[in-house]
Structure 1
């Protein structure tokens, strides 16, 4: 399956053409629909591609290549029901077609028709990935109430360490589902090889299993260890907090054989997503969600892939599937707002976050995310207010909260309140001393205001030492040297900044100024023209650059000095 589907993942249409020959172009409108479909396919525009393939099939309904491509696109866009009808026709004509078999197996599992799923799987085992084959066979046996056979099938997955580990993990899930938590924990503990934590879901499953046998403290310790390492996970955090509060925690990772089978598809989706087979991963995560619509991890992975491919509308739809009662709801809505912003609707993203702060007023992340969105939209005064709302919820700020003070400081500085901004930057440094981003922003701001230049230089030098490959920080170092009149020293730093960040208009403009003052006037003009070609930008005065190109930096500086004296 992986071999053919991988090629489908690159170009479903091109692969089909190789397998079946080019489609029959019998009419201009068929040709147009086919060409439009292939173009949409290459852009990963699954919804449009599916529509055009369906149009082509209306004109050429028996074209197997078109059917196969339509199946892939329908699954990718999330309409597995439409894909199933096409897959049935495709499988009838091509019994060994991998994508058709995969969709039909998933559809049977979604209906809990384990007999049909078993028949398809056993008759087409050569068309199914070995990992999915073993896991699905085990869960089908669970669905058929034959736990002894299910154990055997999971145990048979010992062809290599990876297969064996996943097989044993799913065996533990099946045992826990059956109520044998002690045996499940023995497997999850992993013996001399360590815990069987094959993915983040395994961590949640292990903690829930420990809670069922009265070992809640061990479950809390397990989750604390993971979370303290900086592993961000809303569901694990919620689970940990519930255990610490003494709440009764049930085993919910798998509540039916159907959910177990969905986990099997999701396991393969996760593996494929980390191996640069995004379209394959998308197909499997879509099928996992079809089998078990409550599998939030499937929707999250689907959204990840679609967002990376620029399919923002479909990504938003996937995130919108996550219910309000889910531990993932807040983070999913924050991501949804960002996807809406990326799609070009900044106000729409802000509105989603504003509503989220109303429905979850005690959540720091909702207010800070609203602040980020407002700051990105240049609504700096409102952004500072949102960050203040977030900080008001924190009794005793801890080192990780430096970013809130830093973000509010940027907003206050951009809103024109330097006194408040400086206080925020200093507060951030008290929480996280020598933080390079804070040192750079504070130092650069001092440079622009022509205040405390020696102190600003020391700050920026420390920031560069911490992040020598950051073009913006390196630019700040060159710029403060320029402001101090040490222009010759500024040149190598400005050249390095442009090398690190060649397309930034402000950095190119700064390099032009420095080059002009050391007598490299032709190079300076070249950099100013580059800056204009990359602009506009918030901190770029394009009219000033044009003026420098007209009369030179010397005269521009003289004019500015005269204007300042007159003012």
Structure 2
């Protein structure tokens, strides 16, 4: 674990400890019966609305129970209700329980009221949310209290702390810029004397571009945007580029004051925790950022995305809808809302959202790509292809990341039986991203199935396997390609490996059965075909497998007009059937 991850892990430790203490707390709640059990079930599935309701009832009966109090706080913050979470946090502090989550809520409330002295007093009294949050928020609180020099010293101290330099430097730069010292901010962004230029997120890049503009260095800001994002920009970055190109001095407004700075702390931490901690824990920080700065659209988007991950689709769509229609990130929110609709099996509504978005934001390739991907997942290939066409037509330059769009369109062409167009897209994807394993595998496997370009196909598949040796689908392609070439003994090892990697995949198990049959291992072939059936293959495939179990692979191939198996192993495998013996695997 890196030092950075170790620091971040400390943030989640208190939450884990609280969870570990749950059995003890549970013993204190036996008299709460229905409300307690319903609340535990709701919080366990991240159903914050139900959890908030049931915990409120349970707290009436046992208002000093630490587990009930903490989970009630989590539920209210999950809903974005700081005003309701704060009195519960105060109640929890009154019990003497030490809770990182309660401290987070109490601190956020202090900052929302711009009670900087109160926040500093809490820190001095030993209240802690975590080392990273404590250091950065204390620095912004000093800034809010008007002690700018002490604030800068505090930011520098965080930057010098082991495992935290990037966070400290970023916020030190924001604080300098908010105070009007653009030269000092740019020195930090650029790396200063050691020249170690800071790696920035989208928000960080916007902040630096604004700083450069304030310094009269619009051309550098334009180069920064072009080098990072290329020519195809989202509406927000495109608007910023246009202002810079017009010679306008763009104001620095990413962080306007100490309250904005504190919101940025919580958002920064939430972004760092995403993927490192549970989504329900990360959500506490993004909701805190929203509470401090309701117009922090990136925090709103992060909260909505976390809720989507937790399968709280209704709350996610409600959160996405808080992004104003005229905001440059509106299309991002609508894409998220559509995907939440799709995951909640409201596919018609999902498509309707994207189709409306294509009318209002049709100049954004991502809108058409998302629509194409969604239609492709619904197997509406004829509708998906035009969406990809529109996206590709909008690209003003070829970039490596565009390979995936050509790959996706290649799949829709292939499913529409338009192979020349499909092959052209697959080869274009490889031109943009040479050696891309998924494309190599798909194109190579397709050639094998068509019995075309077999030498090239096998080279492609081997290259894909070398790049992703633990991909069951790609290893399956290699084994299946060898089988189609009649190299049955060679195929066995690879097909067995594929079945180890994807033990419940019906296609892989079916393929392994065919390979076993081809080398004369009839009982094992029948076993694999039965396994394949148990994993619910597509109806057409299931019918074919049943036919193989009835009459054997050789008879099925003959009925299909396909070339027969060949070689000594194949002749041995089919001997009993040819001589009128028992079907495959019926050896008693």
TM-score, normalised via structure 2 length: 0.83
**Range with greater deviation from structure 2 (369-378 or 202-211):** 202-211
Query: Alpha-carbon deviation of 1:274?
Result: 5.7
Task: Identify the residue that residue 73 of structure 1 maps to in structure 2.
Answer: 75
Task: Identify the residue that residue 549 of structure 1 maps to in structure 2.
Answer: 549
1:527 and 1:261 mapped to 2: Cα distance? 59
* 1:16-37 alpha-carbon deviations (Å, 9 max, x no partner): 664x6733433xxx31221222
Against the structure 1 CA distance between its residues 170 and 562, is the aligned structure 2 distance closer, same or farther, given a 3 Å change threshold? closer
The answer as to whether partners of 1:175 and 1:184 remain within 8 angstroms in 2 is yes
**Range with greater deviation from structure 2 (129-138 or 415-424):** 415-424
For structure 1, list consecutive stretches of 5 or more residues without a partner in the other structure.
none
1:494 and 1:96 mapped to 2: Cα distance? 55
Number of residue pairs matched?
A: 557
**Range with greater deviation from structure 2 (191-200 or 286-295):** 191-200
Task: Identify the residue that residue 9 of structure 1 maps to in structure 2.
Answer: 15
1:562 and 1:135 mapped to 2: Cα distance? 70
Query: Alpha-carbon deviation of 1:428?
Result: 3.9
Task: Identify the residue that residue 209 of structure 1 maps to in structure 2.
Answer: 211
Task: Identify the residue that residue 523 of structure 2 maps to in structure 1.
Answer: 522
For structure 2, list consecutive stretches of 5 or more residues without a partner in the other structure.
1-6, 565-588
Against the structure 1 CA distance between its residues 529 and 48, is the aligned structure 2 distance closer, same or farther, given a 3 Å change threshold? farther
1:270 and 2:276 matched: no
1:335 and 1:328 mapped to 2: Cα distance? 11
2:169 and 2:444 mapped to 1: Cα distance? 55
Query: Alpha-carbon deviation of 1:260?
Result: 1.0
Query: Alpha-carbon deviation of 1:534?
Result: 1.9
**Range with greater deviation from structure 2 (513-522 or 469-478):** 469-478
Task: Identify the residue that residue 500 of structure 1 maps to in structure 2.
Answer: 501
The answer as to whether partners of 1:477 and 1:490 remain within 8 angstroms in 2 is yes
* 1:461-480 alpha-carbon deviations (Å, 9 max, x no partner): 45445544433233223323
Q: Secondary structure of the equivalent of 2:295? A: coil
Task: Identify the residue that residue 52 of structure 1 maps to in structure 2.
Answer: 54
Query: Alpha-carbon deviation of 1:214?
Result: 1.3
1:271 and 1:467 mapped to 2: Cα distance? 28
Against the structure 1 CA distance between its residues 4 and 400, is the aligned structure 2 distance closer, same or farther, given a 3 Å change threshold? closer
Task: Spell out the pairing of 1:167-566 with structure 2 (5 A cutoff).
Answer: 167-195=168-196, 197=198, 199-200=200-201, 201-227=203-229, 239=240, 242-244=243-245, 246-273=247-274, 275-276=276-277, 278-394=279-395, 397=398, 399-429=400-430, 431-432=432-433, 435-537=436-538, 541-561=541-561
Task: Identify the residue that residue 103 of structure 2 maps to in structure 1.
Answer: 101
The answer as to whether partners of 2:185 and 2:211 remain within 8 angstroms in 1 is yes
The answer as to whether partners of 1:53 and 1:69 remain within 8 angstroms in 2 is yes
Query: Alpha-carbon deviation of 1:375?
Result: 0.3
Query: Alpha-carbon deviation of 1:97?
Result: 4.5
Against the structure 1 CA distance between its residues 261 and 466, is the aligned structure 2 distance closer, same or farther, given a 3 Å change threshold? closer
Against the structure 1 CA distance between its residues 312 and 65, is the aligned structure 2 distance closer, same or farther, given a 3 Å change threshold? same
2:260 and 2:403 mapped to 1: Cα distance? 41
Query: Alpha-carbon deviation of 1:453?
Result: 4.2
Task: Spell out the pairing of 1:123-202 with structure 2 (5 A cutoff).
Answer: 123=125, 125-157=126-158, 160-163=161-164, 166-195=167-196, 197=198, 199-200=200-201, 201-202=203-204
**Range with greater deviation from structure 2 (477-486 or 519-528):** 477-486
Q: Secondary structure of the equivalent of 1:175? A: helix
Against the structure 1 CA distance between its residues 335 and 153, is the aligned structure 2 distance closer, same or farther, given a 3 Å change threshold? same
The answer as to whether partners of 1:9 and 1:278 remain within 8 angstroms in 2 is no
The answer as to whether partners of 2:12 and 2:277 remain within 8 angstroms in 1 is no
- Residue in structure 2 matching 1:85, options 87, 102, 105: 87
The answer as to whether partners of 2:159 and 2:167 remain within 8 angstroms in 1 is no
Q: Secondary structure of the equivalent of 2:405? A: helix
Task: Identify the residue that residue 568 of structure 2 maps to in structure 1.
Answer: none
2:29 and 2:60 mapped to 1: Cα distance? 13
Query: Alpha-carbon deviation of 1:537?
Result: 4.1
1:25 and 2:30 matched: yes
The answer as to whether partners of 1:210 and 1:218 remain within 8 angstroms in 2 is yes
1:505 and 1:494 mapped to 2: Cα distance? 13
Query: Alpha-carbon deviation of 1:93?
Result: 3.9
2:517 and 2:165 mapped to 1: Cα distance? 66
Query: Alpha-carbon deviation of 1:38?
Result: 1.9
Query: Alpha-carbon deviation of 1:360?
Result: 0.7
**Range with greater deviation from structure 2 (157-166 or 410-419):** 157-166
Against the structure 1 CA distance between its residues 231 and 280, is the aligned structure 2 distance closer, same or farther, given a 3 Å change threshold? farther
The answer as to whether partners of 2:11 and 2:129 remain within 8 angstroms in 1 is no
Against the structure 1 CA distance between its residues 165 and 427, is the aligned structure 2 distance closer, same or farther, given a 3 Å change threshold? closer
Q: Secondary structure of the equivalent of 2:133? A: helix
2:43 and 2:458 mapped to 1: Cα distance? 52
Against the structure 1 CA distance between its residues 334 and 261, is the aligned structure 2 distance closer, same or farther, given a 3 Å change threshold? same
Against the structure 1 CA distance between its residues 413 and 154, is the aligned structure 2 distance closer, same or farther, given a 3 Å change threshold? closer
The answer as to whether partners of 2:381 and 2:412 remain within 8 angstroms in 1 is yes
Query: Alpha-carbon deviation of 1:164?
Result: 5.8
Against the structure 1 CA distance between its residues 276 and 199, is the aligned structure 2 distance closer, same or farther, given a 3 Å change threshold? farther
Q: Secondary structure of the equivalent of 1:127? A: coil
Query: Alpha-carbon deviation of 1:412?
Result: 2.1
TM-score, normalised via structure 1 length: 0.86
RMSD: 3.5
Against the structure 1 CA distance between its residues 462 and 105, is the aligned structure 2 distance closer, same or farther, given a 3 Å change threshold? closer
Query: Alpha-carbon deviation of 1:211?
Result: 1.6
Query: Alpha-carbon deviation of 1:253?
Result: 1.5
**Range with greater deviation from structure 2 (485-494 or 522-531):** 485-494
Against the structure 1 CA distance between its residues 185 and 537, is the aligned structure 2 distance closer, same or farther, given a 3 Å change threshold? same
